[in-house]
């Protein structure tokens, strides 16, 4: 009774969200997922949008305590894809009919890095006849740099807040990293006109269900267009490499699915990614994410030889596959849950157009 009543409420408050995140009985969780899937079907459709992921470089000047490619991890050989490799990956995305790519990278604030990305954006648009939607996930930059990246044709940007709890944020990062700066960057991105995405890790040491409920309300208050959130997974060569025993990987996985479902019910028309980290825990993890309300998947387009060196966390799947294997594998997986694939469409966030009043470009 309480569950039905909560699921049918016009607007969920903090207590409702907390209650839903804590559901334990399988039949109740099923009802939550069903409701979320219903909302997804009605508000954004059953089409899953693809973002071909290009892991451009693992060179990073930051030292996030959780991340396998942090500056102080001297064990990982550093790489940066050549221009030709990036262009080839973008052409592969077009040929695979993905219509959108994400360029992701370790963070670098030197001007040469931004200039290189700008140059690549220009070339990618040229060789693909402006047919690809481009998302960047390259960290914190000045407003001027974001503007230049936008002017060069990037239209979406992902910058996870990692946690909306400033105290927890402090524990996850060295003192030189700033929560306030991260929020400022999200605002800059929105002001610049980007479809703005953020997200959190789920199951972090010291993270409470109150934190997670607040994360969902944070996305809403920030009026975010896209969310990518996944389970936190230890990487042995980091300060957070030891499992502190608070949540098992399976518990983090289950919690992530509930976070996706609740977020879909709260923010009906945004894009939500079924994060690859889900698949690191369960083989069919991303499909389960789609069933719980996600509508975006990021097939990997990074050349196979680099994948071993872009391990943000352990057990990252598909590191020995190439781009076409990823494509074939995914197609069957998506159909298995009853979703369709949004080939040849950018799959822009509907929320973005409502938020800004802009006309959809291509959808």
User: What is the three-state SS of the chain?
Assistant: CHHHHHHCCCCCCHHHHHHHHCCCCHHHHHHHHHHHHHHHHHHCCCEEEECEEEEEECCCCCCCCCCCCCCCCCCCCCCECCHHHHHHHHHHHHHCCCCEEEEEECCCCCHHHHHHHHHHHHHHHHHCCCCCEEEEECCCCCHHHHHHHHHCCCCEEECCCECCCHHHHHHHCCCCCCHHHHHHHHHHHHHHCCEEEECEEECCCCCCHHHHHHHHHHHHHCCCCEEEEEECCCCCCCCCCCCCCCCCHHHHHHHHHHHHHHHHHHCCCCEEEECHHHHHHCCCHHHHHHHCCCCEECCECCCHHHHCCCCCCCCCCCCCCCHHHHHHHHHHHHHHCCCEECCCCCCCCHHHHHHHCCCCCCC
- Using CB under 6 A, which of the segments 87-95, 143-151, 155-163, 285-293 binds ligand SAH? 155-163
Q: Is 274 an interacting residue with respect to ligand SAH (CB under 6 A)?
A: no
Binding-site partner at residue 70 among ligand SAH, ligand SF4, none, CB < 5 to 8 Å by type? ligand SF4
- Residue 5 vs 75, nearer CB to ligand SAH: 75
Residues 42-61 that bind ligand SF4 (CB under 6 A): 60
Q: Is 160 an interacting residue with respect to ligand SAH (CB under 6 A)?
A: yes
Task: State in angstroms the smallest separation of the CB of 138 from ligand SF4.
Answer: 9
Binding-site partner at residue 160 among ligand SAH, ligand SF4, none, CB < 5 to 8 Å by type? ligand SAH
Q: Which of 88, 107, 223, 314 binds ligand SF4 (CB under 6 A)?
A: 107
Q: Is 203 an interacting residue with respect to ligand SAH (CB under 6 A)?
A: no
- Residue 39 vs 89, nearer CB to ligand SAH: 89
Q: Is 313 an interacting residue with respect to ligand SAH (CB under 6 A)?
A: yes
Q: Is 69 an interacting residue with respect to ligand SF4 (CB under 6 A)?
A: yes
Q: Is 123 an interacting residue with respect to ligand SAH (CB under 6 A)?
A: no
- Using CB under 6 A, which of the segments 21-29, 63-71, 87-95, 323-331 binds ligand SF4? 63-71
Task: State in angstroms the smallest separation of the CB of 95 from ligand SAH.
Answer: 26
Task: State in angstroms the smallest separation of the CB of 33 from ligand SF4.
Answer: 29
Q: Which of 106, 205, 289, 342 binds ligand SF4 (CB under 6 A)?
A: 106
């Amino acid at each position: 009774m309480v569950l039905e009543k909560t699921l049918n409420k016009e607007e969920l408050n903090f207590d409702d969200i907390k209650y839903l995140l804590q559901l334990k009985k399988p039949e109740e969780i099923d009802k939550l997922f069903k409701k979320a899937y219903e909302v997804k079907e009605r508000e954004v459709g059953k089409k899953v949008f693809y973002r071909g992921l290009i892991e451009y470089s693992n060179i990073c000047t930051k030292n996030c305590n959780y991340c396998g490619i942090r500056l102080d991890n001297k064990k990982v050989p550093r790489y940066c894809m050549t221009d030709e490799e990036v262009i080839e990956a973008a052409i592969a995305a077009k040929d695979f009919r993905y219509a959108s790519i994400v360029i992701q990278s370790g963070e670098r604030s030197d001007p040469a890095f931004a200039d290189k990305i700008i140059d690549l954006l220009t070339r990618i648009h040229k060789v693909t006849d402006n047919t690809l939607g481009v998302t960047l996930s390259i960290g914190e930059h000045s407003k001027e740099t974001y503007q230049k990246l936008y002017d060069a044709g990037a239209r979406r940007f992902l910058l996870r807040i990692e946690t909306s709890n400033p105290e927890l944020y402090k524990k996850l990062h060295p003192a030189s990293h700033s929560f306030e700066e991260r929020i400022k960057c999200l605002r800059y991105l929105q002001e610049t006109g980007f479809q703005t995405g953020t997200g959190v890790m789920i199951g972090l040491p010291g993270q409470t269900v109150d934190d997670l409920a607040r994360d969902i309300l944070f996305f809403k208050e920030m009026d975010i267009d896209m969310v990518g959130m996944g389970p936190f997974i230890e990487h042995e060569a980091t300060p957070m490499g030891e499992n502190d025993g608070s949540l098992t990987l399976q518990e983090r996985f289950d919690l992530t699915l509930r976070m996706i479902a609740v977020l879909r019910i709260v923010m009906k028309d945004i894009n939500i990614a079924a994060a690859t980290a889900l698949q690191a825990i369960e083989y069919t993890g991303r499909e389960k994410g789609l069933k719980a309300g996600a509508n975006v998947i990021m097939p990997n387009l990074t050349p196979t030889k680099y994948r071993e060196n872009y391990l943000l966390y352990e057990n990252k799947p598909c590191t020995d596959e190439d781009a076409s294997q990823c494509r074939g594998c995914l197609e069957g997986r998506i159909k298995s849950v009853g979703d369709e694939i949004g080939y040849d469409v950018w799959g822009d966030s509907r929320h973005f157009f409502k938020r800004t009043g802009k006309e959809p470009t291509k959808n």
